[in-house]
Amino acid sequence: MEHFNKPLTTLSIMVLLAPLLMATDPDPLQDFCVADLTATTSVNGYPCQPPSSAGDEFLFSSKIATGGDPTGNANESNVTQLDVNEWPGVNTLGVSMNRVDFAPGGVNPPHVHPRATEVGIVLRGALLVGIIGSNDSGNRYYSKVVRAGETFVIPRGLMHFEFNVGEEAATMVVSFNSQNPGIVFVPQSLFGSNPPIPTPVLVKALRVDTEVVELLKSKFTGGSAAPMNDNFADLCVGEAW
C-alpha cells in the first residue's frame, strides 16, 4: 500500500482549494438591485426589491437639482445627500453623490469619509479646498482655491474641508465610489460625541486647559455646530484667494 506524505498532501489540497476559498464577486450579479429600505435584514447593504415592484424611476433623481438653505446653521453650508438611503437605485453599484451649497464665508468643516474617495466639481463661486495628509506625509496640508468648472479629488480617509472664499454663494457637487461613504466631522466627533470623550483625555491630547475643552464641548453638545469665529477673516490675512 502506497504511503502518502501527509504534510505535503495537505499542502497540495490547500493550494488547490485556495482559489475557491478566496473567490469573491464584488460586482453586482444583476443589472440593478434597487434597495429595499424597509427590509428588516441587511448584510453590508440592502436587499433588493422585486424587479416587478421597482418600476423604472430608480434610475433617475432630481434631488440635487436644487440645494438647501446654507444660512440655516452656524457653518453656513448645506449638504444635500444622494446616497443609497436617498437614491435606492445605487444599491450595490458603489456610487453616490452630494451637493453642497455655501453662503459667503460658509465652510464645510474638517471631516473624513471613511469608506470612499471623493471627486468634486465646483459649479459656481470659489472654494478653498484643503486636504491634510496622514503621518506618512508628515501631516502635510494641501490646498487650492477651486473655481467654477474646476475639479478636485480627496483620497479615501483623509481629512479635508471646503471654505467659500468668494463674495458670492458657491456650490459644488461631489461623487463617491461608495453607495454609503460615511462622514466623520472632526470637531463634532471630538467635542460632541455621545457619550462624551472624557475631558482629561482631550486636555492631554490637545495640550490645553480644562476650561478650553469644556468651552468647546459646550459649543457642540446636542448636535449643534460651533459658531463661526468673528475674527475668522483675520486668520486668513495674507492668503491670496
Which residues contribute to the annotated binding site for Mn(2+)? 111, 113, 118, 160
Burial class (CB within 10 angstroms; exposed 0-12, middle 13-18, buried 19+) of 142: middle
Are residues 166 and 105 in contact, defined by beta-carbon separation less than 8 angstroms? no
**Residue that the C-alpha cell 482655491 belongs to:** 145
Burial class (CB within 10 angstroms; exposed 0-12, middle 13-18, buried 19+) of 1: exposed
The string of DSSP codes covering 126-167 is: EEEEEEE--GGGTS-EEEEEEETT-EEEE-TT-EEEEEE-SS
What angle in degrees, to the nearest 10, is found between the helix axes of 199-206 and 210-220?
Answer: 110
Annotated binding-site residue numbers? 98, 108, 111, 113, 118, 160
Annotated binding-site residue numbers for oxalate? 98, 108, 113, 118
Question: What is the Cα 7 distance to its own chain's centre?
Answer: 48
Rounded Cα–Cα distance for residues 66 and 80 (Å): 9
- Going 60 to 61 to 62 to 64, the CA torsion angle's sign is negative
Secondary structure, 3-state, 38-69: CCCCCCCCCCECCHHHHCCHHHCCCHHHCCCC
